[in-house]
Chains A and B, each alone.
Chain A
């Protein structure tokens, strides 16, 4: 059996059995929200404690299925606490079991922060999550990579937070919500965020979220969770066209974006549609110099979870065809642990071709995040 050994923490990637996996969507939690206290200013620590703050998730409109922050029932560590709040239990339950080479962390529920109308509170909490993430996770396992948590309601403050922690060697991305606080993500009010991300070589990653404030506009939020999950894609579509036609990548040519948990079957349709309207109305958006589908392939990546699970061999080919239409280089594996929609890598992709699995499980993520190749015998994490 050949293995790769990380000198720092002796993490072992098994090279002879299962294909190594880089999981690009893992949500660690503090054991309790009091763990964040050391990282809050005295003002916010007292204020949030007095108000009995219980994290970000409880603020979203209630649905039974997400009452426990949507965690897998078995994800609570033996010693208690929230799902995915123990590094050891996470390793045992997921990382070691599925032969993870790296995990990209996105602290749980922080993708809801941008829905808060209170910029200052959201900014303080985002900042506390970053210091907690570095102390409790990144510094304890060199295979982990982190997200710079930001409150995007205030792009200038968000950029300052990216500058504060973005150069940490294990920070890989800026964590964003698919719902933008004001207007679409293509709006130039968000430029400071993109500028800071490029400055630190960070990927900008968008996670499924809810709209801000008290409104549930339009039908895409829905009354039921399967409805919400299905219709999420509508928000992704709208944001992708906002970003493309807003010319974000013309301005920030080194910017890379990753979209997780929003599906991908709709992508070929959106790419073709954008190209059609771009050709027709290039007069209105002359700053978009290349066909939008090309811009998508060069700048955007997509998480696989929730993986479309084909019923039959015939359907499986359709899923692969859809991914080929987008570009097989543009997908990375995401599990969404500890949420109950978790995709177990080798089971969710059991019937796909082996070469495809190598690409999806680690190769594309190696390219996107500049990680060492886990199959490289000289590579260390």
Chain B
């Protein structure tokens, strides 16, 4: 596990993401509105699109037919190709959280710098 300094905290605006190349890894770092940072692999397990080119949105869940609630805004990374979506907190996909996941990495803010451990 190596310590990799990626950028200044201010280089990733609130609610947005940025892609970094760390050795041979391509990683999407997400800064949520609540100031938490997350990092996931920049690779969609479906057909290999770059998730970093997708958007961060909430999850649509339904308690009942056509009774939709919109949860965890900014937590799900939607693939730019076919709309598979992944919770950046744990890498789980929305459609099959048990089996379809993306890799997550430890990311921290240290002395105002975004640091990835991978």
Q: Give chain A's interface residues, CB within 8 Å of chain B.
A: 188, 246-248, 250-251, 278-284, 286-287, 291
State the CA gap A250–B68 with chains docked (Å): 13
Q: How far is the CA of A152 from the CA of B78 in the complex (A)?
A: 41
The residues of A that contact B62 with a CB separation of less than 8 Å are 247, 250, 286-287
What residues of chain A lie closer than 8 Å to B72, measured between beta carbons?
none
Question: Which A residue sits closest to B79, measured CB to CB?
Answer: A280
B24 interfacial contact with A, CB 8 Å: no
**Please, which residues of chain B bring their CB within 8 A of the CB of A279?**
46, 82, 84, 95-96
Q: Determine how close the nearest CB of chain A comes to the CB of B83; give it in whole angstroms.
A: 5
- Any A CB within 8 A of the CB of B75: no
Interface presence of B64 (CB below 8 A): yes
| Interface presence of B61 (CB below 8 A) | yes
Q: Is A280 within 8 A of B82, CB to CB?
A: yes
List of A residues within 8 angstroms of B46 by Cβ: 279
| Cβ contacts under 8 Å, B17 to chain A | none
Q: Are B83 and A283 in contact (CB under 8 A)?
A: yes
Q: Once bound together, how far apart are the Cα atoms of A188 and B64, in whole Å?
A: 12
State whether B65 touches A251 (Cβ < 8 A). yes
Min CB distance B101 to A, Å, is 14
Would you call B64 and A280 a contact (CB within 8 A)?
A: no
Residues A287 and B65 in contact, CB atoms below 8 Å apart: yes
Minimal beta-carbon separation of A250 from chain B (angstroms): 6
**Docked pose: A199 CA to B68 CA in angstroms:** 26
**A278 contacts which chain B residues (CB < 8 A)?**
95
- Knowing A188-B65, A247-B66, the reply to whether A283 touches B60 (Cβ < 8 A) is yes
Compute how far the CA of A250 lies from the CA of B63 in the bound complex, rounded to whole angstroms: 10
* Chain A residues, CB < 8 A from B60: 282-284, 286
Minimum CB–CB distance from B80 to chain A (whole Å) comes to 12
A280 to B64, CA, bound (A): 20
Within 8 A of A (CB), among B30-69: 46, 59-62, 64-68
Cα A44 to Cα B62 with chains together (Å): 46
Contact B64 A287 (CB under 8 A): yes
Q: Is B104 an interface residue (CB 8 A)?
A: no
Cβ–Cβ contact A247 & B65, under 8 A: yes
Please give the distance in Å from B96's CB to the nearest CB on chain A.
Answer: 8
Alpha-carbon separation in the docked complex, A247 to B66 (Å): 8
Distance between B46 CB and nearest chain A CB, rounded to angstroms: 8
Q: Which positions 61-103 of chain B face chain A at CB distance < 8 Å?
A: 61-62, 64-68, 78, 82-85, 94-96
Contact A281–B83 (Cβ < 8 Å): yes
Determine the distance from Cα of A286 to Cα of B83 in the docked complex, in whole angstroms. Answer: 13
Q: 7 closest pairs, A vs B, by CB?
A: A287-B62, A247-B65, A286-B60, A286-B62, A280-B82, A251-B65, A287-B65
Contacts of A251 in B (CB 8 A): 64-65
Q: How far, in angstroms, from A283 to B65 measured CA to CA in the complex?
A: 13
Q: Which residues of A contact B61 (CB under 8 A)?
A: 286
The answer to whether A250 and B65 touch across the interface, beta carbons within 8 angstroms, is yes
CB distance from A276 to the nearest CB of B (A): 8
CB distance from B66 to the nearest CB of A (A): 6
Closest to A282 in B: B95
Given contact pairs A188-B66, A282-B60, A282-B85, enumerate 17 new A-B contacts (beta carbons under 8 Å).
Answer: A246-B65, A250-B62, A250-B64, A251-B65, A278-B95, A280-B82, A280-B83, A281-B83, A283-B78, A286-B62, A286-B68, A287-B62, A287-B64, A287-B65, A287-B66, A291-B95, A291-B96
Q: Bound state CA distance, A278 and B96, in angstroms?
A: 11
Specify which of B66, B84, B85, B94 lies most central, judged by the most chain A CB atoms within 10 Å of its CB: B66
A267 to B94, CA, bound (A): 26
Q: Closest residue to B46 on the A side, CB-wise?
A: A279
Do A287 and B68 form a contact, CB below 8 Å, given A279-B95, A282-B94, A282-B95?
yes
* A251, B62: Cα distance in complex, Å: 11
A283 CA to B64 CA, complexed, in Å = 14
Cβ contacts under 8 Å, A282 to chain B: 60, 85, 94-95
